[in-house]
Amino acid sequence: MTRMTDQIKLEQLAAIMDVLQLAEKLKFELRHSWLSNGRQESVAEHTWRMSLMAILIEPLLDQKVDLARLLKMIIIHDLVEAEAGDVSVLDQIRNPEIRKIKQQNEEQAILKIRQMLATSNGQEIYDLFYEFEEKKTFEAKVANAIDKLEVQLQHNHADISTWEEVEYDLSFVIGKHVQFDQTFVLLKDLIEHQASQKLEEAGLNVSEIRERAISTFS
């Protein structure tokens, strides 16, 4: 019985190693965001700070959250990009067809990952991916809010020369993702204020940008 159990476990571990090899790509799959030192951000770095944000913010949330489930969802949500690649929001805004292609590629990727882990927790990872995408549970709403806020926070840390003009406007449209919890509303206000200061220091008219953003993206 022990030998059979060990053999099954070895097969499961071999499959996990294959997924970890796939996931290693996230360390060099680059996002649109830039770091404060002038280097482009990787997907893995974005996921890491999202996880840290969840741990730090969890005690302040208005409603109790399943932190283990939340962290699993955060870590898994961009795993598909190891297979499908990262597609920036800006590209999706410019070309709506790209959003459809992105969705199709990610659906194929999560199916592949589920199959790779078929003898262990592949179904759980598949379900967590779609829980994040559907944004219905409290944990999924928290994960999505953190996702949006971390992106803007990273933009705030980067030199404004790395911002595209549309990103000026996107600094003021996070509100719709955070209204379900007052903690996130307050954090959004702090991050938005930080962005406003950065834009003002660059000599830009923040009131004009905010009005344009509301008109365009509301």
Tens digits of per-residue pLDDT, 191-202? Answer: 999 999 999 999
Contact 117, 16 (CB under 8 A): yes
Per-residue confidence (pLDDT) for residue 217, from 0 to 100? 87
Per-residue confidence (pLDDT) for residue 85, from 0 to 100? 94
Per-residue confidence (pLDDT) for residue 218, from 0 to 100? 72
Question: What rounded mean pLDDT belongs to the chain?
Answer: 95
Cα distance between residue 218 and residue 212, in whole Å: 10
Per-residue pLDDT tens for 80-92? 999 999 998 888 8
Q: Which two tokens stand for residue 156?
A: 């705030």
Per-residue pLDDT tens for 91-132? 888 888 999 999 999 999 999 999 999 999 999 999 999 999
Widest Cα–Cα separation across the chain: 72
Per-residue pLDDT tens for 139-157? 999 999 999 999 999 999 9
Res. 216: pLDDT tops 70: yes
Per-residue confidence (pLDDT) for residue 18, from 0 to 100? 97
Per-residue pLDDT tens for 163-186? 999 999 999 999 989 999 999 999
Cα distance between residue 88 and residue 32, in whole Å: 6
Per-residue confidence (pLDDT) for residue 1, from 0 to 100? 52
The angle at the Cα of 179, spanning 175 to 185, to the nearest 5 degrees, equals 70
Q: Which two tokens stand for residue 182?
A: 């007052």
Res. 53: pLDDT tops 90: yes
Contact 210, 172 (CB under 8 A): yes
Q: Domains (ranges, CATH) in the chain?
A: 2-217 (1.10.3210.10)
How crowded is residue 145: how many other Cβ atoms within 10 Å of its Cβ? 24
Helix/strand/coil for 32: strand
Res. 161: pLDDT tops 90: yes
